[in-house]
Amino acid sequence: MFEEAQLYSPVSHHDDGTVEVHLGANHPGFNDPDYRARRNAIAARAVAWQPGEPLPRIDYTEGETAIWRQVSHELADKHRRRAHPEYLAAKERLGLPTEQIPQLDEVSAALTGLTGFSYVAAPGLVELREFYSSLGDRVFHSTQYVRHPSEPLYTPEPDVIHEVLGHGNQLASPRFAALTQAAGAAVARAERDETVQVIADIFWFTMEFGVMFDGPDLKAYGAGILSSYGEMDEFSHMEIRPLDLVQMATLNYDITSYQPILFAAESVGHLEDVVGTFFAACDDEVPERMLAAA
């Protein structure tokens, strides 16, 4: 079972108006006061933001920009070789900059023109139901901070690189956008928390960590793999299983390291048939049926 909250550092608001991001003791930025201050300042912008206002624009530092540049360049080659063509075509259409970090309003405007998705700013964790229900309206809650410079390869926390290079490029595909919206709409219909969890778990193994065949070659289409250049090297060596809704909904997994078991779709159409159909039909009877089948 997957608990989204584990991914995020909690954010609290103090009476004096300041915002604090609580990094765990094992976070690479835990002992870095400048990084912590920066995280607090960026989170405060999202906390202060109100719907209808222009999205916060972050004045990214040279160091933050350098991380984006490094990851963008490292990923460009790995994407060419190991990303699924559906993602590559979407990435090409969105045309994100590699030399500077795009502002969320720019990402949002470009995506809206392609698939109707827009971005809003999130300080950190967005409650599971709210996060997914917004996807049902084609609205994506995105953080704006950058991972700690000591670990550019991988972050279990979703930073702007994950949200934009991973999900933004993915959501520029009309087919992936439709699957994402369907997951969100399924959560919006669900009354039971168990149903929401099943949808979130299946989303995790598909839109976050999904792989897909392109002819004989296994390629990545999940935003979590595509935004992690360490994982781009590793995913084809993992245990690959065929798409299986019950297994995806019941397998235990650890979010803090590379995923050892991945589920492969035969094609985008196969993913739509199995997972898209599931999201479209999912109701509150589903958790019992899945447990009975497990």
- Which residues contact Fe ion by CB under 5 A? 158
Phi-psi region of 51 (alpha: psi -120 to 50; beta: other; left: phi over 0): beta
CB of 211 to Fe ion, least distance (A): 16
Q: Is 13 annotated as a binding residue?
A: no
Smallest CA-to-CA distance from 212 within 264, 252, 249 is with 264
* 167 carries an active-site annotation: yes
H or E element in which residue 193 lies: helix 193-203
Long-range contacts of 65-70, Cβ-Cβ distance < 8 Å, separation of 24 or more: 65/99, 65/100, 65/101, 66/149, 67/146, 67/147, 67/149, 67/152, 67/161, 68/98, 68/100, 68/101, 68/146, 68/160, 68/161, 69/98, 69/99, 69/100, 70/152
Which of 108, 227, 228, 272 is an active site residue? 227
Which of 27, 84, 148, 162 is an active site residue? 162
Q: Is 208 annotated as a binding residue?
A: yes
CB of 158 to Fe ion, least distance (A): 5
CB of 123 to Fe ion, least distance (A): 16
Q: Is 167 annotated as a binding residue?
A: yes
Which of 27, 79, 84, 167 is an active site residue? 167
CA distance 247 to 259: 14
Q: Which is nearer to Fe ion, 209 or 242 (CB)?
A: 209
Q: Which is nearer to Fe ion, 86 or 208 (CB)?
A: 208
CB of 121 to Fe ion, least distance (A): 15
CA distance 251 to 201: 9
Q: Which is nearer to Fe ion, 196 or 266 (CB)?
A: 196
* 227 carries an active-site annotation: yes
Which of 208, 228, 231, 272 is an active site residue? 208
Q: Which is nearer to Fe ion, 66 or 153 (CB)?
A: 153
Point out the annotated binding site: 162, 167, 208
Catalytic annotation, residues: 162, 167, 208, 227
Point out the annotated binding site for Fe cation: 162, 167, 208
